[in-house]
Structure 1
Amino acid sequence: MRVMHVMGGGDVGGAKTHIMNMVTGLSRRNEVMLLSFRAGPFADEARERGIDVRVIERHNPFRAARAMRDLVDEFRPDIIHCHGGRANLMGAMVRRSRQVPIVTTVHSDYKLDYLGNPFKQHTFGAANAVALRFLDFYQPVADRMARTLIERGFDPERIVKIYNGMDFKRPEGEFDRAAYLRDTYGVEVEEGDVLCGIAARLTAVKDIATTVRGFAAALEEAPQLRLFIAGDGEDEEMLRRLCAQLGVAERVTFCGWVSPVGPFFRAMDINLLSSVSETFPYSILEGVCAGCATICSDVGGMPELIDTGENGYIFPVGDDRQLARYMARLANDPALRCAFSEALYDKASREFSRENMCARQEANYRHLLARFHRPKHERESIVICGAYGRGNAGDDAILEAIVQEMRALDPERTICVMSRRPKETRLVYRTNAIYTFNVFAVLRRFRRAALYINGGGSLMQDVTSTRSIWYYCYTLRAAKKRGCKVMMYGCGIGPINRAGNRVMAAKTIDRSVDRITLRDDNSRSLLAEMGVTRPDIRVSADPTIILDPAPREVVSLAMEQSGIDPEGRYIGFGLRNWKGLDAALPEIAAAANYAYERHGLTPVFVPIEFPNDLLPAERVGALLRCPWHAVRTRQPIEVTIGILARMKTVVGIRLHSLMFSAGQGVPVVGMSYDIKVDGFLKYIGSRTCLQLQTVRAEPLCRLIDECVSGALDGEVRRTAGMLREREQENVRCAALLLGLKCEKKDGENA
Structure 2
Amino acid sequence: MKRIRVLLALMGLEIGGAETHAVELAKYLCKKGYIVYAVSSGGVYEKELADAGVRHYYAPLTKKDPISMYKSYSVIKNVVLREKIDLIHAHARIPAFVSSLVKKKLGIPLVSTVHGVYSTAWHYKMLTNWGDEAVCVSEDVQKYVIENYNFSPDNTLITINGIDTDVFSGDFIHYDTLAEFNLPEHAFKIVCVSRLDAGNTNAAYSLLSIAGKLSEQIDELKIIMVGGGSEFEKISALCDEKNSELKKEIFVMTNSRTDVHKFLSIADVFVGISRAALEAMSARVPVILTGQFGYGGIFSPDNLDVCLKNNFTCRGEDFASDNTFFEDIMTVYNMPNEKRSALTQFGRETVLKNYSVTAMAENTITAYKKVLREKANSYDFMISGYFGFNNSGDDALLQAMLDNLKSLDKDVRIVVLSRRPDETVKRYNVDAINRFSPFKVMKVMNRTKVLLSGGGSLIQDVTSTKSILYYLTIMKTALKKHMSLMVYANGVGPINRAKNRRLTKKIFDKADIITLREEGSLKLLKEIGVTNDNIILTADPALNLVPSDAELTENVLRSHGIKGDINLIGVSVREWNKNEHNFEKTFAKNLDIICRMNNVYPVFLPMQLPNDLEFSKKICENLETPYYIIGTRYDEKIFAGIISRCSLLIGMRLHSLIYAASVCVPIVGIVYDPKVKSFLDYVGQTHFIGAEKISGENFIGIISDCLKNKDTIKEEFKKRIDVLCKKAKYNADIAMKLLNKETIITFDAEENAENTEEAHSENTGD
Please report the TM-score for the alignment, with normalisation by the length of structure 2.
0.49
Please report the TM-score for the alignment, with normalisation by the length of structure 1.
0.50
Structure showing greater Rg = 2
Higher relative contact order (CA 8 A, sep 6+): 2
